[in-house]
């Protein structure tokens, strides 16, 4: 178990491109994972990442408990020297930032008003995403009515903002695309 006869664990630790060698006690009454953390925190006080080692297949094995570390040390590969390295702890912050980004987009979208456009189902001014029928001459839906499946018999053109092109060429392209789609799949 990367030990000498006196139950000392020899460790080689890679952290941010630097290697450190040290020993920790492997005595039966010692929590070896806590001893490892204590040693690492004596070197880097604000250490809050995880440890990993590579198994015989070269796979990265992350460990974060006494039981996982003891299992790793029991393998012949780690008998003389326990080679470990730092891996970043999975962070929830990027996910939270992503959620906030999505929320901000939705808030912005909710504030967009398509002036002069009224939903042909609920007769309310279209706020948010506007859906224009690609087949009917003048038929618009708000995002709520579209979500409810109103006017689902025709393809709709989605306008996230009022500044998106609405010209005949855009309708022709969309109608052509719908026609080609139907020709291919019929």
- Give the count of domains, the chain: 2
Residues 106, 167 within the same domain: yes
The answer to whether residues 71 and 108 belong to one domain is no
Instruction: Answer yes or no: do 73 and 27 share one domain.
Output: yes
Q: What is the pTM of this model?
A: 0.47
State mean pLDDT over 96-123: 70
pLDDT tens, 103-114?
555 555 456 888
What is the residue-averaged pLDDT of the chain?
80
Whether residue 179 is predicted with pLDDT greater than 90 in this model: the reply is no
- Interval 26-64: pLDDT, tens: 888 999 999 999 999 999 999 989 999 999 888 999 999
Rg over CA atoms, the chain: 31
Side-chain-facing half-sphere of 54: CA atoms under 13 Å: 9
C-alpha closest to that of 174 among 136, 134, 140: 134
CB < 8 Å & 24+ apart, contacts of 16-24: 16/86
Q: What local confidence, expressed as pLDDT, does residue 4 receive?
A: 43
Print the domain residue range for 71. Answer: 8-87
């Amino acid at each position: 178990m990367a030990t000498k006869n006196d139950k000392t664990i020899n460790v080689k630790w890679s952290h941010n491109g630097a290697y450190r060698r040290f020993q920790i006690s492997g005595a039966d009454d010692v929590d070896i994972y806590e001893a490892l953390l204590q040693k690492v925190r004596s070197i880097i006080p604000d250490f809050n990442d995880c440890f990993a080692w590579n198994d015989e297949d070269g796979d990265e094995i992350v460990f974060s408990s006494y039981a996982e570390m003891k299992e790793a040390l029991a393998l012949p590969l780690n008998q003389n020297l326990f080679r470990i390295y730092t891996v970043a702890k999975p962070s929830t912050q990027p996910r939270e930032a992503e959620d906030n980004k999505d929320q901000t987009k939705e808030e912005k979208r909710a504030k967009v008003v398509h002036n002069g456009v009224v939903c042909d189902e609920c007769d309310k001014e279209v706020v948010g995403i506007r859906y224009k029928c690609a087949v009917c001459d003048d038929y618009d839906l708000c995002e709520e009515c579209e979500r409810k499946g109103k006017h689902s018999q025709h393809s709709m053109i989605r306008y996230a903002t009022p500044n998106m092109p609405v010209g005949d060429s855009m309708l022709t392209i969309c109608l052509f695309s719908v026609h080609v789609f139907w020709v291919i799949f019929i």
